[in-house]
Chain A
Amino acid sequence: NAGVMQNPRHLVRRRGQEARLRCSPMKGHSHVYWYRQLPEEGLKFMVYLQKENIIDESGMPKERFSAEFPKEGPSILRIQQVVRGDSAAYFCASSTQGALGQPQHFGDGTRLSIL
């Protein structure tokens, strides 16, 4: 049973470009979470999605960031007009049910570097 798959593992972008990060949840999981980990910090929640719905985006920056989880295909975290401060590791997690009491299974993360 494949785990949570994230790609790419490493992504390099120049300031002003767009970054698209993909996450395929574990088989049977319909709940996806995105986290960001800045250097020397813990993971910070960004957004929680179910298929075709954003449930909680309270951790998402108000501008330039968006997320989707379409009916078919992976969840996408999109960062427009990237800036140096966006450099971080972005982790996706999935679970079978909502977050209440359910362990989340994490992907290996995408390390985004902004030149």
Chain B
Amino acid sequence: AQSVSQHNHHVILSEAASLELGCNYSYGGTVNLFWYVQYPGQHLQLLLKYFSGDPLVKGIKGFEAEFIKSKFSFNLRKPSVQWSDTAEYFCAVIRNTGNQFYFGTGTSLTVIP
């Protein structure tokens, strides 16, 4: 069955620290990949997406993610986090033949000023 794993459940960083959140998926075929962010009390917002082409994808607010097909991974990175990045981050995968998104369980990021 399709699954998406986010290994870091809770991450606490100080401002200006670098961030990397892991995401691995289990489907072997062609997939499209997404990272969503959910700020406290708000709805999910799209950070970035990968469909094809350059595996290094740049998103909003200085986030980027790298698709490594051989590792079935799509890790999210940011060189220097800010207090305003405190939120829940969800990785999502959809197969190119499917209708539904598969979401990871999310990573809660807390940035300490």
Interface membership of B51, Cβ < 8 A: yes
The minimal Cβ–Cβ distance linking A76 to chain B, given in whole angstroms, is 19
| A99 contact set on B, CB distance < 8 A | 94, 98-101
Known interface pairs A3-B43, A42-B4, A109-B43; A55-B103 also in contact (CB < 8 Å): no
Shortest Cβ distance from B50 into A: residue: A101
| B96 contact set on A, CB distance < 8 A | 100-101
Contact B103 A108 (CB under 8 A): no
| A106 contact set on B, CB distance < 8 A | 36, 43-45
Known interface pairs A42-B4, A103-B49; A91-B44 also in contact (CB < 8 Å): yes
Q: Contact residue range for chain B?
A: 20 to 34
Q: Contact residue range for chain A?
A: 20 to 34
| A45 contact set on B, CB distance < 8 A | 100-102
Interface membership of A70, Cβ < 8 A: no
How far is it, in angstroms, between the C-alpha of A10 and the C-alpha of B33 when the chains are bound? 31
| A44 contact set on B, CB distance < 8 A | 103
How far is it, in angstroms, between the C-alpha of A39 and the C-alpha of B99 when the chains are bound? 24
Interface membership of B70, Cβ < 8 A: no
Known interface pairs A48-B99, A56-B99, A58-B100; A107-B43 also in contact (CB < 8 Å): yes
| B92 contact set on A, CB distance < 8 A | 43
The minimal Cβ–Cβ distance linking B53 to chain A, given in whole angstroms, is 12
Contact A91 B99 (CB under 8 A): no
Contact surface of A with B, Cβ cutoff 8 Å? 3-4, 33, 35, 40-45, 48, 55-56, 58-59, 91, 93, 98-101, 103-109
Contact surface of B with A, Cβ cutoff 8 Å? 4, 6, 32, 34, 36, 42-46, 49, 51, 90, 92, 94, 96, 98-106
Which 4 residue pairs spanning A and B have beta carbons closest together? A45-B100, A42-B103, A106-B44, A42-B105
